[in-house]
Amino acid sequence: MKKVILILCLTLGFSQLSNAQLDFGVKAGVNYNSESIKETAQDVFEGAKSKTGYHAGVWLRFKIPVVGLYLRPELVYTNLENEVFFKTADITTNHSFKKIDIPVLLGKKVFGIGNVYIGPSFQYILDSDFNISEISNVDADGFTMGLQFGGGVEFGKLGIDVRWERAFSDIESSLTSSLGDVNYDTRINQIIIGLSLKF
C-alpha cells in the first residue's frame, strides 16, 4: 500500500511538469535524531543519545496550476548516528543508520522570500549497524513512511530551511547478540536543517 501511495504521488507531481515553472537544485545539511532506539523485546539498551547526522541530495519544485501552491519532491541520502549503552556487554556503542528519503512536499511561498510546506516522506533503509563485535546481523525494515513539515527562506539561489520529521510507525529492527535474537524499535523523529542551491 505504501508503495502504491508513493507511485501515485510521484505520478501526480510529474504529470504537472508540462504546465509548471520548474526549479531544481542540490541540498545538504545536518540532522538531529531524537529518541531513536526503543527496545521492544528485552531490557537491552539504555540511555540512547543522539549525535548530529548529515544529509545530501537533489530537489525539484514546480507550481501547481491555478491553486497557488507548489510540489517539491526530493531524493536525499541521510546518515544518522546514536550513542547507546548496551547493557548485556556493559559497553557503550554507536548505532549508525543510513537511508534514502523521498519527501514529497506541498508548499506555498509567503512574503516573497519565505516558504512553508508539509508532506509525506518515503524512506528506504539502506543499512543499520552497531560498531561492536558483540552485536551482529543487524536488520531493519526496508520501507517506511513519515511526515515532514517546516519552513525556510530563500535569498536568490541560496536557501535555508528547518524541518521536523515524525515517523508514522516504528521501524522493526533485529540483532543477534549473546542474548540471542533481539527485536527493537528504531524510530525516525528528527530535526533537519538544510542549505539548498538552486540552478
Q: Give me the residues of the chain with pLDDT under 50, please.
A: 16-19, 40-41
CA atoms within 13 A on the CB side of 3: 3
Q: For the domain 2-198, what is the CATH code? A: 2.40.160.20
**pLDDT at residue 42, rounded to an integer:** 52
**pLDDT at residue 17, rounded to an integer:** 46
Cell 538544510, residue? Answer: 194
Residue 36 CB burial class (10 angstroms; 0-12, 13-18, ≥19) = buried
Q: Where are the beta strands (DSSP E) in 17-142?
A: 22-33, 37-39, 45-64, 69-86, 91-110, 114-130, 136-140
